[in-house]
Each structure stands twice: as structure tokens, then as C-alpha cells.
Amino acid sequence: MSPLPLDKTLRRWEAALRSAGSDEAQTEARLLAAHFTGLPLGDVPLSLDRPLDDDVLAAADAILADRARHVPLPYLLGDAWFLGLRFRVDPRVLIPRPETELLAEAAIAWLRTNPKAAVADIGTGSGCLALSIAHFRPACRVYATDLSDDALALARENAADLGVADRVTLLQGDLLGPLRAEGIADSLEAVISNPPYVTEAEYADAQPELLHEPRGALVAGPTGFEVMDRLVAELATLPNLRFVGLEIGATQGPSALLLARENLPDWRFEVRGDYAGHDRLLIGTRP
Ligand SMILES: C[S@@+](CC[C@H](N)C(=O)[O-])C[C@H]1O[C@@H](n2cnc3c(N)ncnc32)[C@H](O)[C@@H]1O
């Protein structure tokens, strides 16, 4: 059989993904195409007459079958994109989300005027926040912690892939504990974190794709504030801290603001929204 052109294949993949329940069928079909052709994602719609061979179509069909069982596409492809950088992902880590790029961008913007700051990312997972900061702000000293050894192993691979391994220190342990143990905590000038903030009730109702991601990366406890409460209390003990950026849940803005103002009363805090207009970031600076 002669090879099928990409446009026909894209339409077929998109239909298959839509019937598998994907809300992002067109984007996911293009990600599949980029994966199999090696094209940059943005070039896929410009290459519609490019032929795809039978072996590629068979490999894509196997991925689509797993996708129909609600396995998230980035786990099936083995990678995800964050601020234009490629991160390996697998079920040891949360898949980096586009909303989290807003947190990285806020930190990178603050670091423009503080280019040599010591920065920590708490709960680094794939390393998307810490490693993108190390990439875009190469003079910073970057530290990252995670409770999960498995996540840190993958973050180490990503650090090596991105060529930043010598500028990022990855430590296992609870919140800022390992940084305190290593004598690093007091030097920190910026801390960012996308902590677990999903409630147990939200998780019980979650879409099936979420159940493939590590529960410990998502669920904080009954209120959703269990990890954030402890983290913000720890931040208040850091003598040189001047920037805080936390990702929060869509309904957590007012309570997160209260929590931050109670613990860091001299600071300026604001809640920022995401692309959908939901509360998503708590940003604080010390005047
Ligand atoms: C929501 S994920 C964020 C991962 C990554 N930073 C991102 O934005 O995609 C939360 C991460 O925090 C880690 N974690 C959960 N509780 C923690 C704790 N008490 N101390 C350190 N890390 C923790 C999880 O293992 C997970 O990797």
C-alpha cells in the first residue's frame, strides 16, 4: 500500500482521540505526528502532504489503543514540553502542565533583576520548574527537593539532557528539610513550588487520566492545604527570602492569600489567574 499523507492520518488520529475521550484531540494528534516525524510541533500543520509509512501507523495505533484506556499521551510518548524544553516523563512524575509554565515565567521574570539568586523548587517532580530556571537563568544557584526518590531519578535524567546537571542540586526529603540539613536553607532568596493541593474528595471524582499520575504528587489531604500550610510556615523561617511563587488550586486563592499574609506579614502578595481565568498562582515579594 502507498504511504498515507499526514493530513489524512491526522484526521483519523484526531477522530480516534476524540472518541477515546480526549478534550485536546487536535493537539494530541499533532503531538503524535511530531513524535513520529521528528518535526517541531509548530511545523506539523505545514507538512500535511508528508507521507507516513505503515510501521509508523502501526506504532501510532498501539499508542491510540493505550490512550483509549485513558493513559495520558505524554506517558505514552515518553516526553512533555515545558517552556519549549523537552522533559522525559513517565508514571514516576506528574506531567508538567501549561499553567505551571506561568509559575516558571513569574520566577524567571523576578530573577531578571536578581540573576545570581539562590532558588529552591520544592516538590520538583520531573524537574520542569527547577531545570527551566537553571536553563533560562544560568547564573542562579538552583536547588530542588522531592519526597519521591523515583521522581528525583527522572529529574536527574532531565537535568543531564538539558545540560544543567552541574548547576542544580537535587535532594530527597520533606519540603525544605533536606536544604536545612545541608545548610542551604538560610541562603535561599527565592522559593517556588507546585505542591500537592488536590483534596481527597476532588481526587475521588477525578477524570481517569489523573489516576495514572502519582497520587502523592496530587493529593494533599482532606482540605487540599495540608502541604501548603506546612510549606508556608517553613518559608517564614528563611532569613534571606525575597520571592515566593506557589501554584494553587482554582478555589484556593482567598485562603492561600490569608495563609501567606498570616505567616509573612511584611510581604506583598497577589493571586494571579491562569489561561482559563481561574486562580492559579500565589506570588509574594518582600518589599
Ligand atoms: C504537583 S507535583 C509537582 C511536580 C513538578 N514541580 C511540576 O510542577 O510539574 C508535586 C511534587 O511534590 C512532591 N511532594 C509531595 N509531598 C512532598 C513533600 N512533603 N516534600 C517534598 N516533595 C513532596 C511529589 O512527589 C511531587 O513530585
User: What CATH number does the domain containing 135 carry?
Assistant: 3.40.50.150
**Residue of 128, 129, 148 to test ligand 1 pocket, by largest number of atoms within 8 Å of CB:** 148
Pocket of ligand 1 (CB under 6 A): 94, 96, 100, 122-126, 128-129, 145-148, 151, 174-175, 194-196, 216-217, 227
Give the tens place of pLDDT for each residue, 225-279.
Answer: 999 999 999 999 999 999 999 999 999 999 999 999 999 999 999 999 999 999 9
Q: Model-level pTM greater than 0.85?
A: yes
d(CA 111, CA 25): 36
Give the tens place of pLDDT for each residue, 124-174.
Answer: 999 999 999 999 999 999 999 999 999 999 999 999 999 999 999 999 999
**175 and 274: one domain?**
yes
Residue 3: per-residue pLDDT: 73
Burial bucket for residue 188 (CB in 10 Å: 0-12, 13-18, 19+): buried
The total domain count for the chain is 2
**100 and 197: one domain?**
yes
Instruction: Assess if residue 210 is contained within a domain.
Output: yes
Instruction: Assess if residue 80 is contained within a domain.
Output: no
Examine the fold and report which residue of 25, 54, 69 is the final residue of a domain before the chain moves on.
69
Instruction: Assess if residue 83 is contained within a domain.
Output: no
The more confident residue out of 2 and 221 is 221
Instruction: Kindly indicate the confidence band of residue 1, based on its pLDDT and cuts at 50, 70 and 90.
Output: low
Instruction: Kindly indicate the confidence band of residue 2, based on its pLDDT and cuts at 50, 70 and 90.
Output: low
Q: Which atom of ligand 1 is nearest to the CA of 93?
A: 27
For the chain, what is the radius of gyration of the CA atoms?
A: 20
**247 and 168: one domain?**
yes
**50 and 186: one domain?**
no
Q: How far is the CA of 24 from the centre of ligand 1 (A)?
A: 25
**97 and 56: one domain?**
no
**27 and 157: one domain?**
no
In contact, 75 and 212? CB cutoff 8 Å: yes
d(CA 197, CA 148): 16
Residue 13: domain span: 4-69
Q: How far is the CA of 240 from the centre of ligand 1 (A)?
A: 23
Instruction: Assess if residue 81 is contained within a domain.
Output: no
